[in-house]
Amino acid sequence: ACEPDPRAAQIPRYVRVNTLKWDLENALEYLSSNGFSQHTSPFESKKSFAIDNHVPNLLAFHSTASFHSDTAYRDGRFILQDKASCFPAYVLSPDPSIHIALDATSAPGNKTTHLSSLMKNKGKIFAFERDQARFSTLQKMLKNAGCKNVDAFNQDFLTTDPRDERFRGVTHILLDPSCSGSGIVNRLDYLLTSAESQEEDKVKEERLEKLAAFQLLMIKHAMTFPNVQKIVYSTCSIYPTENEQVVAKALDLEEAKNAGFSLAPRAEVIEKWEHRGVNKEMGEYKDQADRVVRCRPGEDKTNGFFVSCFVRNTSVKSNPG
Ligand code: SAM
């Protein structure tokens, strides 16, 4: 039952150059001195790589490339992060001179370190993680990646008080909560849980409904931060129950209406990405399905992923805190 998913071979091994520690130019020199060569496709040979054309500072290697013992990976200059998983921080892109960011569900820290790097280690990121063991992984990753603008809390995001003096200034929230993980096709730990794919439809639907209710609650809580302007919600799920349907329900929340939240236009959410939301899953918001991004596992050379971005009409002032 533990056969690798055939789509895994279509997905390059992605490596994000951690600009908190060096830059793309130095990384290219390092790779060349280690026998790698740059091509338009990472599948040219086992030692080829390509520069990604959607996410800055992201490199794509052959799917069989391994970096686990590579010096630049070990010392935090390289971060192994799937391309689609780089979209949320890139879409959020807070400006450290005027914005304050919060990562609600941080461990192991791929997106937090990406945010930190996009903010050039300036300004402030509050990072929450509720699980203790995963929190210590997060702390190690933040240290290894050289993040100095992150305050990490081993705390349930839902228990934070949005009006707390420390957090009331938060303007940008990244929300990448627990999900079914059904989009991940190239990870061994996913294969171990593939027994889930055998479960009965009814049991599966119940599990997805529970996840969706939790995901909606997380968005609802994020929307009550008095100064929040932008919330990026993402999952590595392929199911509309956790994606388009959650987004449509979030837009219907009282909190969303009071604060004036709507979906950011396509131009602000990886505009050139072809695959967008499934319109029939968005109910009355079906005309806005192109505002959200879907990554199809394998076919898009990424794992399965979903990204949406809520922006607040700042002229609506009903949530002053
Ligand atoms: N964003 C992470 C990254 O890119 O490395 C991956 C996040 S993972 C999909 C979801 C994480 O959220 C898990 O580590 C889980 O323990 C944590 N989590 C779930 N519910 C939470 C909550 N209510 N508050 C804080 N963390 C939570």
Tens-place pLDDT, residues 22-81: 999 999 999 999 999 999 999 999 999 999 999 999 999 999 999 999 999 999 999 999
Which position among 86, 236, 295, 309 bears the catalytic label? 236
CA distance 117 to 19: 6
pTM, two decimals, is 0.95
Question: Does the 85-312 domain belong in CATH 2.40.50.100?
Answer: no
- Read off the pLDDT of residues 165-215 as tens digits, 9 standing for 90 and up: 999 999 999 999 999 999 999 875 544 455 556 677 888 999 999 999 999
CA distance 2 to 27: 35
Superfamily (CATH H level) for 6-81: Sun protein; domain 3 (3.30.70.1170)
Q: What is the DSSP letter of 112?
A: H
Judge contact between 181 and 237, C-beta under 8 A. Answer: yes
SS3 302: strand
User: Residue 109: CB within 6 Å of ligand 1?
Assistant: yes
According to the model, what pLDDT value does residue 192 have? 45
User: Residue 156: CB within 6 Å of ligand 1?
Assistant: yes
**What ranges do the domains of the chain cover?**
6-81, 85-312
Looking at the CA of residue 109, tell me the nearest atom of ligand 1.
5
Judge contact between 277 and 289, C-beta under 8 A. Answer: yes
Instruction: Kindly tell me if the per-residue pLDDT of 320 is higher than 50.
Output: no
CA distance 146 to 66: 23
Burial of 240-257, coded b for 16+ CB within 10 Å and e otherwise, reads bbbbbbbbbbbbebeebe
User: Residue 154: CB within 6 Å of ligand 1?
Assistant: no
User: Residue 111: CB within 6 Å of ligand 1?
Assistant: yes
- Read off the pLDDT of residues 201-258 as tens digits, 9 standing for 90 and up: 888 999 999 999 999 999 999 999 999 999 999 999 999 999 999 999 999 999 999 9
Ligand 1: which of 18, 80, 112, 129 to mutate, most ligand atoms within 8 Å of CB?
A: 129
According to the model, what pLDDT value does residue 2 have? 60
